[in-house]
Structure 1
Amino acid sequence: MAAKVTKTNDDAIAQRRQVGAAMRSYRKEAGMDREVTAAVIGLAGPTLTRKESGDVQFSRAQIEKLAEAYGVPDNEVAMLIELAREGRARTRSRSGEFPMFVPLKDRAFLELEQRDAIEIMTVTLLVIPVYFQTEAYMRTLWKRNGELTSEQRINELVRLRKTRQRVVTKPAAPKIRAVVHEAALRLPVGGPEVMREQLSALARACELPNVEIQVQATEAGAFPGIETTFTLLRFGDGAAKDVAQVAGYDEPFYRDREPGTQVYRDAWDRRRVAALDLQESKDRILEAAADFGLSRA
C-alpha cells in the first residue's frame, strides 16, 4: 500500500510541476512580476513561487483568474485546468521566452528545461541535437521539410530554438548529454558550407564542461532503440519525476510518470554504452567536418 501512495504522490508532483511551469511561462510572457501577480490572487510572492515550482498546486479559480490576466487563450486554459485536475486527483488517491504559438505541453516542457532540469539527455538519428544547431542549419531543416513553412513561421521557430539553446551556457547550466548517430554528421543539410559551420560548432560544444556528446558509429550497424529519438529531463528529486519528450511525425508526445519514463532511461543507457566514447566521438565529428572541406589543423 505504501508503494502505491508514493507512486501516486510522484505522479501528482509531475503534474503540478508541469502546471506550475506553464503558469510561470505565461506570467513571464505577460511581463508581470511575481509580487504583482501574487496580489491578483491574494497571495504572497513566495507562495506564488512555490506554486510555480510545483510544490503547491494551483486551484481552478487561481488558474482562471491568472489566465485572464495573462491573456491565455480559452482552449489552453481548459487544458491547464484538466492538467491541474489530474494532479489533484492523484494527490487525493525572463519575459516573453516562449510565444503563444507553443502548445501547453510543449510550453511546460520548455520552461522545465530552462529553469528546473539538472540533467538533459537527448538522442537523435538524422539531425544534430537542437541544443547545438546553428541558425543556417535549422533554417534549412524547416525550409526543406516539405511543409512549405512560411518565412515568418521559420523566424518564429528560429527565435524559439535559440531561446532553448541558452540553457547550454547559462549560469549553473544543467548537464547536457547527447547521443547522435553518425548519419546526422554526414547528411548534407544545406550543403558543405552549412555543414562545415555546423560540425565545427558541434566540435566546440564538446569542449564545454557541462556537455557530453557521443556519436553512434555507422559501422556499428543496428543498435538499441534504432527507431527512437527523445529528450529526457531529470530533476533533483528522483527518477520518478523525470519528463520525456518523444519525437513524433507531426508533433512530440510526452511521458511524465513511471513506468513510461523508465523505458527512456533504459534506452539512454543502452544507446550510451553502444556509442563511441567522448574523444572518439569528437574525432568522428571533426572527420566528418573535414569531409565537407573543413581543415582539421
Structure 2
Amino acid sequence: MTYRPTVRGRRLARELRRLRETQGLTLQEVADRLDWSRATVSRLETGQTRPKPGDIADLLDLYGVPSPDRDALINLAREAGQRGWWTAYADVFTGSYVALEDEASRIRAWDTQLIHGLLQTEAYAREVITAGRMLPGPTEIERRIDARKARQKLLDREEAPRLHLVFDECVLHRPIGGPAVMRAQLEALLEFAARPRIEIQILRYDTGAHAGLDGRFTILSFPNPADPDIAYVEGTMGDVYLESAEAIATHGDRFDRVAAAALPPEDSAHLIAEAARSSK
C-alpha cells in the first residue's frame, strides 16, 4: 500500500533532513554508517516511506540527539506511522491531500467550477464523479461516493477546521444533475454557510479581471506552528503541493485578493438563496 504522509510525517521528514545537514553528513554517508541504502535515507527525509520508530531511533543515535528531543521525535514517528481512516479508501484517494486536509485547522479554497467536495450533497457528488472521472461502472462510482461521505465527517468534529470558501458565481448556475439536484445542493450550501466555522463568498460575474483567473487552489493551515501552510492545486494530470514560503505567500495574497473582490458572506447567502429559488 502506498504511504501518503500526514502532517506529522512531513514534520518528521523535515526534522530528519535538518539534523543530517546540521551534522554535515551526506545521504550516502548516513547510509554507509547505518548499512542502509541511500534511497532508504532519502525516502525517510522526503516522507515517501512510513517511518519505523526503530529506524528513527537509529538515525537519532547517529546524529547524537539527546532526550527529551529524541523521545519526542520517536513518538512523532509512531504517530506519523498510524493508518488514518483514508487508508481504507486507498483505491480512491491517490494523493496526500485527504491525509493533510484531515489535520488542517483552517482551509481556504477558491473554485471556479464546482461546489467544494466537503460541501457536496450525495446527488451532486454522484453527478460530478460520474461525469468527471469516467469510471467503468456503478460499483466504482458508489465506492467514491462512500469515500466522499467519510471525508465530509471532518466538518462534524468538535474541533472542525475553519473553512473559508470563495466560489465563482457560475458555480451556482451550472445545472449539474438538473434543477432538483442543484436546488438541493444550493439549499445545503446555505445550511453550511450558517455554521459558525464556515464562511462562504461568491465572486460575481461582473467582477471582471481578478486574481483568481489562473484557476482553483486550496491552502491548508495547521494548528502546530511547526507545520507550514500547504497550497494544493488539483489537475487532471496530477496534483501539485506547494510548500515554499514564497509560493505560499503568493497564493495567500491571491486568495485574499479574490475574497476582497467577492461579495461579503451575508450578500453571498442572498445570492445563493436566489439561485436556489430560480433552479426550476
Q: Does 1:251 align with 2:238?
A: yes
Q: Which amino acid aligns with 1:19?
A: G
Structure 2 unaligned residues grouped into runs of 5+: 1-10, 18-43, 59-70
Q: Which 4+ residue blocks in structure 1 deviate beyond 6 angstroms?
A: 14-18, 37-43
Pick closer, same or farther for the CA change 1:276–1:269 going to 2, 3 Å: same
Deviates further, 172-181 or 144-153: 144-153
Deviation at 1:161, TM superposition (A): 1.7
Match of 1:78 in 2: none
Deviation at 1:223, TM superposition (A): 1.8
Q: Could you tell me how far apart the structure 2 residues matched to 1:49 and 1:137 are? A: 41
Q: Could you tell me how far apart the structure 2 residues matched to 1:234 and 1:126 are? A: 23
Pick closer, same or farther for the CA change 1:49–1:209 going to 2, 3 Å: farther
Pick closer, same or farther for the CA change 1:149–1:128 going to 2, 3 Å: farther
**Equivalent of 1:99, from 78, 89, 102?**
89
Q: Does 1:109 align with 2:97?
A: yes
Q: Give RMSD over aligned pairs.
A: 3.6
TM-score normalised to the size of structure 2?
A: 0.71
Structure 1 unaligned residues grouped into runs of 5+: 1-8, 25-36, 55-62, 71-93
Q: Could you tell me how far apart the structure 2 residues matched to 1:211 and 1:47 are? A: 34
Pick closer, same or farther for the CA change 1:102–1:215 going to 2, 3 Å: same
Q: Could you tell me how far apart the structure 1 residues matched to 2:97 and 2:78 are? A: 13
**What secondary structure is seen at the aligned counterpart in 2 of 1:180?**
strand
Q: How many residues get paired?
A: 233
Deviates further, 237-246 or 149-158: 237-246
Contact in 1 for aligned 2:12/2:77 (Cα 8 Å): no
Pick closer, same or farther for the CA change 1:193–1:257 going to 2, 3 Å: same
Q: Does 1:19 align with 2:6?
A: no
Superimposed CA distance per residue, residues 89-140 of structure 1 (whole angstroms, 9 cap, x where no aligned partner):
xxxxx64555222566x2x3312211x2110011110111111001110111
Contact in 2 for aligned 1:18/1:112 (Cα 8 Å): no
Deviation at 1:152, TM superposition (A): 2.1
Match of 1:215 in 2: 202
**What secondary structure is seen at the aligned counterpart in 1 of 2:89?**
coil
Q: Does 1:137 align with 2:124?
A: yes
**Higher Cα radius of gyration:** 2
Contact in 2 for aligned 1:130/1:161 (Cα 8 Å): yes
Pick closer, same or farther for the CA change 1:175–1:145 going to 2, 3 Å: same
Deviates further, 233-242 or 265-274: 233-242
Q: Does 1:51 align with 2:77?
A: yes
**What secondary structure is seen at the aligned counterpart in 1 of 2:245?**
coil
Q: Does 1:182 align with 2:169?
A: yes
